Structure 1
Amino acid sequence: MSARGGRYGFVYKTRQRAYRALRRQGASKAKAARIANAGRTFPQRSRMARKAARTRQQRGH
């Protein structure tokens, strides 16, 4: 269980699905937790998505 905390790591309950999806894609526990926890709320995730889109645009993808 990744919401246990302490040395077992921690992922917000609402972000468990994102965490598990990242794990299935082969991300390490630490990396998956970092990404899943990054945008806890919808506005935070939206902001990150917009920033990612700008970055992709700048890099010509």
Structure 2
Amino acid sequence: MVSDRGGRYGFVYRSRFAVYRALRRKGMSKSKAAQISNEGRTHAARSLMARKAAKTRQARGRKRH
């Protein structure tokens, strides 16, 4: 389990741990889940990620349901 100790114990902000667990339940690797959950710590960072994801979906030609 990752913690806020860092180093070989991994690192995920405590405020973002629920997001980390959700990503892990979806089958994501520990490092990838930690990277994504830590990246979206602020509202601005989450907005940036959402815009990028929308752009990616659009580029791949997916329709919005």
- Provide the TM-score with structure 2 as the length reference: 0.81
1:11-39 deviations in Å (ceiling 9; x for gaps): 01111000011111111211110111111
Q: Distance in 2 between matches of 1:2 and 1:54?
A: 32
The equivalences for 1:5-44 within 5 A come to: 5-44=6-45
Q: Which runs of 4+ in 1 moved over 3 A?
A: none
Unaligned segments of structure 1, at least 5 residues: none
Higher relative CO (Cα under 8 Å, sequence separation at least 6) belongs to 1
What's the RMSD between the two structures over aligned residues? 1.3
Q: Distance in 2 between matches of 1:36 and 1:25?
A: 13
The equivalences for 1:46-57 within 5 A come to: 46-57=47-58
Structure ranking higher in helix proportion: 1
- Provide the TM-score with structure 1 as the length reference: 0.85
Identical-residue share of aligned pairs (%): 67
Unaligned segments of structure 2, at least 5 residues: none
